[in-house]
């Protein structure tokens, strides 16, 4: 299991997400984040091609899209959180 951190942008998006969703949605997000931290090479991830010098990945789970990168084998950094905002 890797360690993890959040960028300031992710924390801002997380605060907005928490205000607009149900407890079930929060639990789903926690489970997805834990799965990524447990296995950053999770099946279903796709390269984002955002910054070739620092590869990052997108992982979709239901309505959530999580952008993250693996700093080293023991550190995952969460970059962005996307979800439908109606």
Domain with 53, as residue range(s), is 3-82
Q: What is the CATH number of the domain that holds 29?
A: 3.30.2310.20
pLDDT at res. 52: 78
pLDDT of residue 86: 65
What 13-22 contacts at long range (C-beta under 8 Å, 24+ apart), as own/partner pairs, is 13/80, 13/81, 13/82, 14/81, 17/81, 17/83, 20/85, 21/83
User: What is the reported pTM?
Assistant: 0.91
Q: What is the pLDDT along the chain (86 residues), one digit of tens a residue?
A: 779 999 999 999 999 999 999 999 999 999 999 999 999 999 999 999 877 788 899 999 998 999 999 998 899 999 999 998 76
User: What is the count of structural domains for the chain?
Assistant: 1
């Amino acid at each position: 299991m890797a360690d993890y951190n959040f960028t300031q942008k992710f924390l801002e998006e997380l605060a907005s997400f928490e205000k607009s969703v149900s407890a079930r949605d929060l639990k789903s997000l926690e489970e997805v984040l834990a799965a990524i931290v447990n296995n950053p090479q999770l099946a279903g991830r796709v390269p984002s091609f955002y910054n070739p010098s620092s590869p990052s990945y997108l992982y979709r789970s239901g309505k959530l899209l999580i952008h993250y990168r693996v700093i080293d084998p023991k550190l995952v950094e969460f970059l962005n959180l996307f979800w439908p905002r109606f």
